Structure 1
Amino acid sequence: MSGAPEEAAAEAERARFEALVTEAATVSVDGWDFSWLDGRATEQRPSWGYARAMADRMGRARAALDIQTGGGEVLASVPKLPPLTVATESWPPNIARATALLHPLGAAVVADPDEPPLPFGDNAFDLVVSRHPVTTWWTEIARVLVPGGTYFSQQVGPASVFELVEYFLGPQPAEVRGARDPEQARAAAGAAGLDVVDLRAETLRTEFFDIGAVVYFLRKVIWMVPGFTVEEYRPRLAELHRLIETEGPFVAHTTRFLIEARKPDAGP
């Protein structure tokens, strides 16, 4: 009889694990809204306030492009959009979501594969923005900017949330950990003919309070653990669930950088 309480506790833990994982594996991950994680995970925000700073620049622009808009949530938060505002997106569910959200605000959404060339003519926009682009095509950005135009972007930095990545994939090579370095972005912008006028980076604390938050995050941010599925990683998920339940939140660190670059004014 002495083993009965332990067996009951173990069964309750298995049931909680299954419930958390099943919920997180079935909820929609369309768009770029992370509100499902409220109360289940926290992420420290960069000090520069990207959405607010981007909105300020939008309010002064005449023609603006938001590259890789996701579900359009950040662009939709801008109080005053430029007279001409266009967004691009590649993932069909996000295209539909962004269209429904942005068209009533007067912004057009263009389906684009996120590969060169951008589907716009030269010198089309005085402001190009992008929050967390997967890839930055610097030469294309320089091409579509008017002389004197600005590119403004918050990007994921090197080895972001790699405590979680390496928990599932093991230690990553130096070239993978060092990718997305802000100085690489500075050099690429310069090579495309843009002048970098601001470059800032921060490391920020992230906490996952239950295994459902981990599953949701990895389903949504698909490049963290490529090909992630619950069934493929069930043993590691169960192990991480026990770790969180006994020791508290799983702590990782996101890295972010802000970059602002300008296209030189045309000569006389």
Structure 2
Amino acid sequence: MVPPPPSRPPRHRAFDDLVAEGASVPTDGWDFSWFEGRATEARPSWGYARSMARRLVRASAVLEVQTGGGEVLDFALGAAGSRRSPLVVATEGWAPNVAKATRLLAPRGVPVVAVPDDAPLPFADGAFDLVVSRHPVQPHWDEVARVLAPGGTYFAQHVGPASVFELIEYFLGPLPQESRRRRHPELERSDAEAAGLEVVDLRAERLRMEFFDIGAVVHFLCKVVWMVPGFTVDAYLDRLRDLHERIEADGPFVAHSARHLFDVRKTAGANGA
């Protein structure tokens, strides 16, 4: 979502209007500009997209896994300019995003390959010296190791444990303790090392999020569908109305996202070497 605005936006719009607006906004891609003035999320200190751009300059063959609508890669390629690596390929598993990413990245000479998120990558062993990904559904470390050339790098920003759980548990109730361990960076470190990869750097941060109106909550849950599986306005109408009244009375609903940054190197003994 967009960075915090300079001042709090106006409130007191009708519940039905806000909900209808939030539900009507297209959900393809990972462009969160619609949330400007409606919701905010602090950014990680490491500046992932710009850091990716600097790596694009040094790489010779790049793969982005699960590109979404291609927005982050498009930004990084633009920042890298003519110094970018000559070969860049992206994958995506959701058909609407494949179409959107193709429209965005084709002018930059980047093909987008439709690959289900849980499928093997359709590329040769050691084909890339840089693999990047922002918020993959799940990192497939063996496949990353296989397609990386020896000495190559996986540079990615992952979603961390218990991300936005304040909002999720508002709708679903308390979640089992084991669900709070999923996506834990140290567990992912272990999985990466089991695939023969060396974790050069791993950083984690929790970041403040604010939802200023119920329309932003509705659009967020429609867009990020795994937050509240099966979410529909009708199914959660009473909880949405209660949350709307809470926001109107007390101000923004506050949650916290979890992010971690992986800088991983393939050693000569890694799988697929």
What is the TM-score when the length of structure 1 is the normalising length? 0.93
Q: Over the residues paired in the alignment, what is the CA RMSD in angstroms?
A: 1.2
List aligned pairs for 1:103-118, cutoff 5 A.
103-118=106-121
Correspondence for 1:7: none
Tell me if structure 2 keeps the 8 A contact 1:116–1:137. no
Correspondence for 1:212: 215
SS in 2 for 1:107: coil
Q: CA deviation at 1:265?
A: 4.0
- Structure 1: unaligned runs, 5 residues or longer: 1-12
SS in 2 for 1:228: coil
Kindly provide the CA deviation profile for residues 136-177 of structure 1, in whole angstroms up to 9, marking residues without a partner as x: 100000000000000001011000000000000000001111
Kindly provide the CA deviation profile for residues 51-108 of structure 1, in whole angstroms up to 9, marking residues without a partner as x: 0111111111110000000000000012333211000001111000000100110111
Question: Quick one: distance in 1 between partners of 2:269 and 2:142?
Answer: 17
- Percent identity (aligned): 65
Kindly provide the CA deviation profile for residues 27-72 of structure 1, in whole angstroms up to 9, marking residues without a partner as x: 1011000000000001011000000111111111110000000000
Question: Quick one: distance in 2 between partners of 1:116 and 1:229?
Answer: 29
Correspondence for 2:5: none
- Structure 2: unaligned runs, 5 residues or longer: 1-11
Indicate yes or no: 2:27 matched with 1:24. no
SS in 2 for 1:120: coil
- Number of corresponding residues: 254
Q: Please tell me whether Structure 1 or Structure 2 has the larger radius of gyration of its CA atoms.
A: 1
**133-142 vs 257-266, greater mean Cα deviation:** 257-266
Counterpart of 2:259, as a letter, is R
Question: Quick one: distance in 2 between partners of 1:66 and 1:197?
Answer: 19
Counterpart of 1:130, as a letter, is S
SS in 1 for 2:142: helix
SS in 1 for 2:167: helix
Counterpart of 2:183, as a letter, is R
Tell me if structure 2 keeps the 8 A contact 1:189–1:195. yes
Tell me if structure 1 keeps the 8 A contact 2:196–2:269. no
Counterpart of 2:264, as a letter, is A
What is the TM-score when the length of structure 2 is the normalising length? 0.91
Tell me if structure 2 keeps the 8 A contact 1:66–1:88. yes
Q: CA deviation at 1:116?
A: 3.2
Correspondence for 1:203: 206
Indicate yes or no: 2:69 matched with 1:71. yes
Counterpart of 1:51, as a letter, is A
Counterpart of 2:15, as a letter, is F
Indicate yes or no: 2:81 matched with 1:90. no
SS in 2 for 1:101: helix
SS in 2 for 1:64: strand
List aligned pairs for 1:16-165, cutoff 5 A.
16-78=14-76, 79-80=79-80, 81-165=84-168
Correspondence for 1:6: none
Moved over 2 A (4+): none
